[in-house]
Amino acid sequence: MPIAHYETYTKMLDNAYRNGFAYPAINCTSMATINAAIGAFAEMKTDGIIQFSLGAGSFASGLSVADSVEGCIALAEYAHRIAERYDVNVALHTDHCQPDKVDGFLIPLIEESERRVADGGKPLFSSHMMDGSAIPLEENMDISVGLLKRLAGIGMLLEVEAGVVGGEEEGAAGAEGRAPEELYTTPQDMVEVYRRLGEVENGRYMFAATFGNVHGHYKPGTVKLKPNILKEGQEAIKKVFGAEAYFWLVFHGGSGSSREEIQETLNYGVVKMNVDTDTQYAFTRPIADHMFKNYDGVMKIDGEVGNKKVYDPRTYMKKAEQGMRDRVKIAVEDLKGAGKSLGR
């Protein structure tokens, strides 16, 4: 089906919110990883989200070009073509963009979507993220409101973040040097986010509140997850703005979290969970296995010629795609999304 835009995307997110599940948002860097993600969504009969970071865009554009914008446009155009071959809805998103990267990354991508809409088409992406977690909330919201106004004008959504996610992910803010309480978004901050973004006419957005989550794998006990913070935030905005108020929440840094912890957040309005570290490993592990098992075939040892059947990149890249696809399916199960596609 066509890439999901405003009407379908908002229906997807409301479907998740009302029915207690979430979409895995899979970070992709290539055609192979896009194929793995969408193939898994289709197999599990779920809709889903694929997303590209600045680093992914730079990688996809090649060593000589190394342009995040051009690479993300190329990945998105491929996703548009291949998504048409599947019977599930797929939304296209860009991941963490810090304030100092907005002008050089988000604005050119938004301009590309504005151009397409002006020509009678649809936006290239479904949504973008502005990660203002490292700056004061007022400044964060000033930038986010401006972006949301612009996106609302072309039928796109915004994701914002307030509070610090620990660890490291594509240059995203980490916990080093930050007070422990900064890993937890306060109800007061959540009320302010709702107030400021609610001022944007027709503006729809997702909110990545922080509750002790970290990017990357970590040992149990390193950071204390407090999912109840999400519940308290939803209750706070209802108290101030009325019973109909709610956030579409995003869970960043879910790798290493238990299924029980992940599923608890679904009760509090999480509709999107980013998945990257685990799928990176799932993609690489079959390649490593292939190399170890076929060492004398992929290497030309002692004057031999090797074995083209095992050093042909297609051989091990198919295994990598399947490995990642299998891991995405686990994410769908963890998030209770199997069989819940909106369909056509």
Q: How confident is the model at residue 212 (pLDDT cuts 50, 70, 90)?
A: confident
Q: What's the number of CA atoms in the CB half-sphere (13 Å) around residue 204?
A: 17
Query: What integer pLDDT is reported at residue 217 of this predicted model?
Result: 52
Kindly report, residue by residue over 40-95, the tens digit of the pLDDT. Answer: 999 999 999 999 999 999 999 999 999 999 999 999 999 999 999 999 999 999 99
The pLDDT value given to residue 211 = 86
Q: Is the pLDDT of residue 169 over 70?
A: no
Mean pLDDT of the region 11-15? 98
Tokens standing for residue 176: 């080093």
pLDDT at 173 over 80: no
pLDDT in tens, 264-288: 999 999 999 999 999 999 999 999 9
Confidence of residue 225 (pLDDT cuts 50, 70, 90): confident
Q: Output the pLDDT for position 257.
A: 78
Q: Which residues are annotated as catalytic?
A: 95
Closest CA to 230 of 252, 215, 200: 252
Is the confidence at residue 215, as pLDDT, over 70?
Answer: no
Residues 6+ apart with CB under 8 A from 305: none
Burial (0-12, 13-18, 19+ Cβ within 10 Å), 85: exposed
Q: Is the pTM of this model over 0.95?
A: no
Spatial separation of the C-alpha atoms in residues 327 and 54, rounded to whole Å: 23
Give the pLDDT mean for 175-194.
Answer: 76
Which architecture, in CATH terms, is 6-334?
Answer: Alpha-Beta Barrel (3.20)
Query: Which tops the pLDDT comparison, 170 or 16?
Result: 16
pLDDT value at residue 302: 84
- Look up tokens 């019973």; give the residue: 243
Give residue 220's pLDDT.
Answer: 52
Name the one residue in this structure whose structure tokens are 């107030």. Answer: 195
* Residues 115-147 pLDDT 10s: 999 999 999 999 999 999 889 999 999 999 999
Distance CA 18, CA 269 (A): 8
Predicted confidence (pLDDT) at residue 170 exceeds the cutoff of 70: no
d(CA 237, CA 69): 36
Least confident of 71-80, 193-202, 212-221: 212-221
pLDDT at position 343: 74
The pLDDT of residue 255 is 67
The enclosing H or E element of 93 equals strand 90-94
Q: How far apart are CA 176 and CA 164, in angstroms?
A: 10
Q: Grade residue 214 by pLDDT with cuts at 50, 70 and 90.
A: low
Average pLDDT over residues 285-301: 95
> Which percentage of the chain shows pLDDT scores above 90?
83
Name every residue whose Cβ is closer than 8 Å to that of residue 325 and which is 6 or more positions away in sequence. Answer: 36, 37, 39, 40, 43
Q: Looking at the predicted structure, is the pLDDT value of residue 194 above 60?
A: yes
- Mean pLDDT of the chain, nearest integer: 92
